């Protein structure tokens, strides 16, 4: 199975901050990486696919980059509605696997 290592597991940030979350895979996955946002008590929401493509309706302050084994999710200017937990997922090897999550909290 491909192991997904997300870091940090949590972070505190202020509104307006630039936030970067990393995801590392145990083997190369080209660009078959997705990012999801989950707020407490809610279903996850799809943010990014193919490492850097935004899903429809996702604000442009979200961006993704990377290929192979190292990926990043960046929020350019954190907004109040962005406080949530973020997960990465590789989707080109079975079993599909998720990172452990990064909780973004208010400083």
Partner 1 sequence: EVQLVESGGGLVQPGGSLRLSCAASGFTFSDHYVDWVRQAPGKGLEWVGRTRNKVSSYTTEYAASVKGRFTISRDDSKNSVDMQMNSLKIEDTAVYYCTRLEGGGRGWYPIDYWGQGTLVTVSS
Could you tell me the smallest distance in angstroms from the CB atom of residue 92 to partner 1? 4
Kindly tell me which of 78 and 87 has the beta carbon lying closer to partner 1.
87
Give min distance, CB of 16 to partner 1, in A. 28
Burial 61-95 (b: 16+ CB within 10 A, else e): ebbbebeebebbbebeebeeebbbbbbbbbeeeee
Q: Which positions touch partner 1 (CB under 8 A)?
A: 32, 34, 36, 43-46, 49-50, 55, 87, 89, 91-92, 94-101
Beta carbons within 8 Å of 54's beta carbon, 6+ residues apart:
47, 48, 60, 62, 63
Are 107 and 14 a contacting pair, CB within 8 Å? yes
Query: Residue 49 CB, nearest distance to partner 1 (Å)?
Result: 4
CB nearer to partner 1: give 28 or 44: 44
Q: At its nearest, how many Å lie between partner 1 and the CB of residue 14?
A: 26
Which is nearer to partner 1, 26 or 77 (by Cβ)?
A: 26
């Amino acid at each position: 199975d491909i192991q997904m290592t997300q870091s940090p597991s949590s972070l505190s940030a202020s509104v307006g901050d630039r936030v970067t979350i990393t995801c590392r895979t145990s083997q190369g996955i080209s660009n078959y990486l997705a990012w999801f946002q989950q707020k407490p008590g809610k279903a996850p929401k799809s943010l990014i696919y193919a490492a850097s493509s935004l899903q429809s309706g996702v604000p442009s302050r979200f961006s993704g980059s990377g290929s192979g084994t190292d990926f990043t999710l960046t929020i350019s200017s954190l907004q109040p509605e962005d406080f949530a937990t973020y997960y990465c997922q590789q989707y080109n090897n079975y079993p599909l696997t998720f990172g452990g999550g990064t909780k973004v909290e208010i400083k």
